[in-house]
Amino acid sequence: MAAYQLPVAVLACVLVLGTVGSVQAQNAPQDYLDVHNTARSAVGVGPIAWNATLAAYAQNYANQRIGDCQLVHSGGPYGENLFWGSGKEWTAREAVQLWVDEKQYYNYTTNTCATGKVCGHYTQVVWHKSSNLGCARVKCNSRAIFITCNYSPRGNIIGQRPY
């Protein structure tokens, strides 16, 4: 019987590690980049690249929000999109996709959002001068998910178009 215990224990470790890895993999830099770059490509804007300095800034700020999970901007030198969600384990892809989905409210001709709608997250995602991205995700004490993405150079400059 001892001969069968070792393989079962090894299998259990693989399953646990596999589960942990899949959760982390859902929120890896490439997950943020893929959704951003798909949206950017759709409007003829070049890809955005991951930046460790921006990611560290985002992580530092996200850590500050763990206690309250409030959608308060950091006030830093970068462009910034924030996400808050509860009720499930929101992923990087889902958060960025919600920002991209604001495209339906953006009118390129008038460079405005539809009345009563928000589209500034979308315009930051596709801002043509933004070339670097760094994001972070934390689970708040309230069990909600807080995600922040920072952009350099910042976008959403009044009077300018995103692309």
User: Could you report the per-residue pLDDT of 18-60, keeping only the tens digit for each?
Assistant: 333 334 568 999 999 999 999 999 999 999 999 999 999 999 9
Distance CA 46, CA 117 (A): 26
What is the per-residue pLDDT for 25? Answer: 63
In-domain check, residue 136: yes
In-domain check, residue 158: no
What is the per-residue pLDDT for 7? Answer: 32
In-domain check, residue 1: no
In-domain check, residue 35: yes
pTM given for the model: 0.84
In-domain check, residue 51: yes
In-domain check, residue 20: no
What is the per-residue pLDDT for 24? Answer: 54
User: Reduced to 3 states, what is the DSSP secondary structure of residue 46?
Assistant: coil
What is the per-residue pLDDT for 26? Answer: 81
Beta strands in 11-131, from DSSP E residues, in sequence order:
49-50, 79-85, 106-107, 112-113
Domain count of the fold of the chain: 1
Task: Read off the tokens for 18.
Answer: 């596999």
Range of the domain at 132: 29-152
**Which positions of the chain have pLDDT values less than 50?**
1-23
What is the per-residue pLDDT for 87? Answer: 96
For position 122, which CATH number holds? 3.40.33.10
